[in-house]
């Protein structure tokens, strides 16, 4: 499992499965099988070898602890994985063993496996974002003329539409969703380059093999990115922006949930949720806590990601290896953000009565201008159908 026990309690279950040790090993094996299949299709290796490799990938037993221990001696999990797989394969198909991992290198396996683990997370992010935008846009529409106090610098400013605040959240998430989809199209790519990124052992078929393999794995096809990683980093930056918006919304919701304010809540109080080990009466905004913890961690993780990319020559020493540890953490933060979005999408409570009371206490009353909320809602039309 990716992450410490305490971190897991902040994380999203499905994301933890996506980056679990088993899933990562599976992804590495999928790389090898897909490589062989693509090489067979391009006649770089015999079809029979590709089949044997596929079978071996499906049947090999990998001991996690041994893999990690040997991986440590080589600063690469791929070295022992390929070795173990080759031994397994050699037992049934000694000939096929020489076609295994042909022309590929460790970073090809590890980068691609990471991308494969991230893929379902991004798909889930897209679905959650869509659903959340729909849900919040509906709240916004419903409350487009509900007056609430606008607040700036944590002080009362002027009355505004509650729907405007909600519509801004929805619009921000909708824009994040678009940015993420664009980033995925460019940045969730197969890494296949071989030792120095030239695919030179593939008899001139390198690009064709890469293209087939990318298609089979559901990843973008692009020249190797082992030493220039900006498309990948850009994708992760965009994922971080999703979590940043979630964190900002969580901060707003948490502030509005303060007992003295009481204008919104992430969800109605529920038995067994948000409890305290010391004060049974409490209902803590746990989804907000999760989103805020993620948003607080992410800037530093992005800093690490960017720092890791400043690598040497054709493959860095330490940089991309660090990334292998950083990316699952970034994904975990995105998962926490999605958990929060699921919660508020399903059960956000908007208390128009408390809004009115708070406004009245500040001597504010009267009609609310809805032009601004209507402009944003117009942009959210696809989500309001």
Which residues in 114-153 contact a second copy (CB under 8 A)?
Answer: 114, 150-153
The residue among 193 and 345 lying less far from a second copy, judged by its C-beta, is 193
50 near a second copy (CB under 8 A)? no
284 near a second copy (CB under 8 A)? yes
Distances (CA, A) of 155 to 150, 152, 183, 282, 372: 9, 5, 37, 26, 21
The residue among 47 and 286 lying less far from a second copy, judged by its C-beta, is 286
* H or E stretch covering 169: helix 162-187
Binding mask 51-90 for a second copy (x = CB under 8 A): -------------x--xxxxxxxxxxxxx--x--------
Contact 209, 39 (CB under 8 A): yes
User: How many amino acids of this chain bind a second copy (CB under 8 A)?
Assistant: 157
Catalytic residues: 276, 315
Q: Binding a second copy by CB under 8 A: which of 52, 115, 166, 250?
A: 250
Q: How far is the CB of 293 from a second copy (least distance, A)?
A: 4
Q: Binding a second copy by CB under 8 A: which of 137, 339, 351, 380?
A: 339
Q: Binding a second copy by CB under 8 A: which of 33, 135, 264, 288?
A: 288
The residue among 216 and 261 lying less far from a second copy, judged by its C-beta, is 261
Q: Binding a second copy by CB under 8 A: which of 158, 185, 346, 360?
A: 158
Residue 364 neighbours by CB distance under 10 Å = 16
As a whole number of angstroms, the distance between CA 263 and CA 353 comes to 8
Q: How far is the CB of 269 from a second copy (least distance, A)?
A: 11
What is residue 20's DSSP assignment? S
Q: Binding a second copy by CB under 8 A: which of 90, 215, 231, 349?
A: 231
The residue among 52 and 308 lying less far from a second copy, judged by its C-beta, is 308
As a whole number of angstroms, the distance between CA 190 and CA 224 comes to 8
Structure tokens at 61: 């037993």
Q: Binding a second copy by CB under 8 A: which of 50, 133, 162, 164?
A: 164
Q: Binding a second copy by CB under 8 A: which of 294, 337, 341, 355?
A: 294
Q: What DSSP line would sit under 184-204, residue for residue?
A: HHHHSB-----TTS--TTSTT
As a whole number of angstroms, the distance between CA 45 and CA 26 comes to 23
The residue among 33 and 241 lying less far from a second copy, judged by its C-beta, is 241
The residue among 58 and 375 lying less far from a second copy, judged by its C-beta, is 375
Q: How many CA atoms lie within 13 A of 96 on its CB side?
A: 27
As a whole number of angstroms, the distance between CA 349 and CA 367 comes to 23
Q: Binding a second copy by CB under 8 A: which of 124, 234, 342, 364?
A: 234
Q: Binding a second copy by CB under 8 A: which of 138, 195, 215, 356?
A: 195
Q: How far is the CB of 64 from a second copy (least distance, A)?
A: 7
The alpha-carbon radius of gyration of the chain (Å, integer) is 25
Q: How far is the CB of 51 from a second copy (least distance, A)?
A: 22
* H or E stretch covering 382: helix 381-384
As a whole number of angstroms, the distance between CA 29 and CA 260 comes to 55
Binding mask 299-338 for a second copy (x = CB under 8 A): xxxxxxxxxxxxxxxxxxxxx-xx-xxx-xx--x------
Cα distance from N-terminal residue to C-terminal residue, the chain: 40
360 near a second copy (CB under 8 A)? no
Spatial neighbors of 113 by CB under 8 A, at least 6 apart, are 24, 27, 28, 30, 31
5 near a second copy (CB under 8 A)? yes
Residue whose structure tokens are 């496996």: 113
Q: What DSSP line would sit under 81-108, residue for residue?
A: HHHHHHHHHHHH-TTGGGGTTTT--HHH
Q: Binding a second copy by CB under 8 A: which of 98, 127, 362, 365?
A: 362
Name the one range near a second copy by CB under 8 A: 43-51, 53-61, 125-133, 282-290: 282-290
Q: How far is the CB of 324 from a second copy (least distance, A)?
A: 4
The residue among 48 and 193 lying less far from a second copy, judged by its C-beta, is 193
């Amino acid at each position: 499992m990716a992450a410490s026990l305490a971190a897991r309690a902040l994380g999203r279950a499905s994301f933890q499965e996506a980056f679990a040790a088993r899933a990562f090993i599976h992804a590495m094996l999928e790389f090898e099988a897909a490589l062989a299949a693509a090489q067979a299709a391009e006649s770089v290796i015999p079809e029979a070898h590709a089949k044997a490799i596929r079978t071996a990938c499906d049947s090999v037993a990998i001991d996690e602890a041994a893999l990690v221990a040997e991986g440590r001696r080589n600063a690469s999990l791929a070295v022992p994985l390929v070795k173990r797989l080759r031994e397994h394969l050699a037992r049934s198909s000694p000939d096929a063993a020489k076609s295994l991992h042909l022309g590929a290198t460790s970073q090809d396996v590890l980068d691609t496996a990471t991308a494969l683990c991230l893929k379902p997370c991004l798909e889930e992010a897209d679905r959650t974002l869509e659903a959340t935008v729909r849900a919040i846009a509906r709240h916004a529409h419903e409350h487009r003329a509900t007056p609430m106090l606008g607040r700036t610098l944590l002080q009362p400013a002027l009355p505004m539409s509650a729907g405007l605040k909600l519509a801004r959240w929805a619009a921000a998430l909708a824009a994040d969703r678009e940015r993420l989809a664009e980033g995925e199209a460019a940045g969730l790519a197969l890494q296949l380059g071989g030792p120095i990124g030239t695919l030179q052992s593939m008899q001139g078929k390198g690009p064709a093999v890469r293209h087939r393999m990318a298609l089979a794995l559901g990843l973008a096809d692009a020249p190797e990115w082992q030493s220039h990683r900006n498309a990948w980093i850009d994708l992760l930056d965009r994922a971080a922006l999703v979590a940043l918006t979630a964190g900002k919304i969580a901060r707003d919701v948490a502030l509005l949930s303060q007992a003295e304010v009481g204008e919104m809540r992430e969800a109605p109080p529920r038995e067994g949720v948000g409890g305290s080990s010391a004060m049974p009466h409490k209902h803590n905004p746990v989804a907000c806590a999760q989103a805020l913890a993620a948003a607080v961690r992410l800037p530093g993780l992005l800093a690490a990601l960017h720092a890791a990319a400043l690598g040497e020559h054709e493959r860095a020493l330490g940089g991309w290896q660090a990334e292998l540890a950083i990316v699952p953490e970034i994904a975990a933060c995105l998962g926490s953000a999605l958990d929060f979005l699921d919660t508020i999408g399903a059960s956000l409570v908007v208390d128009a009565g408390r809004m009115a009371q708070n406004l009245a206490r500040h001597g504010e009353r009267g009609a609310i201008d809805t032009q601004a909320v209507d402009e944003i809602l117009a942009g959210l039309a696809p989500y309001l159908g």
